[in-house]
Amino acid sequence: MFKTFSIKRFDFLLVLTVVLLNFIGIMAIGSAKPTLQVRQIQGLVIGLVVMALVSTLDYTRLLKLSWVYYAVNLVLLFLVLYFGESRDEAQRWLTIAGIRFQPAEATKLLLILFYAQFIMKLKDKMKTLPAVLGCLLFIIPPLYLVYSQPDLSTAIMIFIIFSVMLFVGGLSFKLVAAILAVTVPAFIVFLTLVIQENSSIAGLLDPYQRNRILAWLYPEDYPDIAYQTINSMQAVGSGQLTGKGYNTNEIGSFLNSGYISESQTDFIFTVIGEEFGFVGGCTVVILVALTAIQCFLIARASKNIAGSVIAAGIGAWIGFQGFMNIGVVTGVLPNTGIPLPFVSYGLTSLVVLYAGIGFVLNVRMQNK
């Protein structure tokens, strides 16, 4: 199990980018909510240990338990649905043996491992419709359970990761084009209808989800909902080129004035933009992009389909989720409530992400 580790093939650049992101996050959390900074540092230490351990194991052997990962994932999501803890109209947390965590975050990694083995078994059939339908069949239950929490943003993120894994696994370009030709117009029509109050399908979204979309499209008509995004955009802009300084005491600070809620989690980029300015914001964007690109490069050089799916899945997770989070803060996307990878506060997300990086490092060291 440990023979795969090779210090010569260890990707120190990838580790450096994620640790730098984590350090920036720890600093920003110290400004947003100082009482949580120590816990995030603990998450960094635990994450590094988990990453180092996973990187020494042979992922090809671990993938033999793919059905176990899938079953455990469904069990955890079912437990959340019936025994989970509620917060802000959402039931997403579970406490087992005194440990409180968010199973939906673990779902991303568990599904990546499951589909790495599943797609590798179907590698010669991935260009056929039955194989694609088979893959879709197994993504529906976890997607539905995550959506029911309700957690639409994480469900969307999981589906994006799933789509990237299918593409890397050998999905036909013609089939991709055909699917996009149908789904993109269908999504636009769906979005148009679902935000209409008298529409027959308006009930498919919870009222708060529908209101968030409307507040994004018409912020002046929904000031009580759009205020978070409006304030975050103003805060990021107020940082100008180099920011107001770390942990600033400036009277005009949006953070110190309490205008930004959840600034330690979903809106952590607001803190970075205000205190470190355009330079700090660009640094985070570049680090997120470098991390995702490095994962994709490792996927391209993988010795097998399973390794490619793992590395590409993790890269899609970090890259697209980073884009979604920053897009919300800057008003490009509606408020989705999704964390910024390695930066936002949250031990479950942080440790699972480090485990994912451990698998990517493992793939890298087995590349030939």
Mean pLDDT, the chain, as a whole number?
85
In sequence order, the β-bridge partners of residue 90 are 87
- Distance, CA of 157 to CA of 317 (rounded, Å): 7
257 or 112, which is more confident: 112
Q: Check residue 194 and give its pLDDT.
A: 64
Q: For the residues 295-302, what does the mean pLDDT come to? A: 93
What would the two tokens of residue 296 be? 């994709």
Q: What percent of the chain has pLDDT over 70?
A: 89
CB distance 211 to 222 below 8 Å? yes
Q: Report, as an integer, the average pLDDT of 325-331.
A: 89
- % pLDDT > 90, the chain: 45
What pLDDT is stored for residue 292 in this prediction? 96
Please tell me the pTM assigned to this model: 0.89
Which of residues 283 and 151 earns the better pLDDT score? 283
Answer whether residue 253 shows pLDDT above 60. Answer: yes
pLDDT band at residue 182, thresholds of 50, 70 and 90? confident
Residue tagged 């059905």 (tokens): 67
pLDDT band at 145 (very low <50, low <70, confident <90, very high): very high
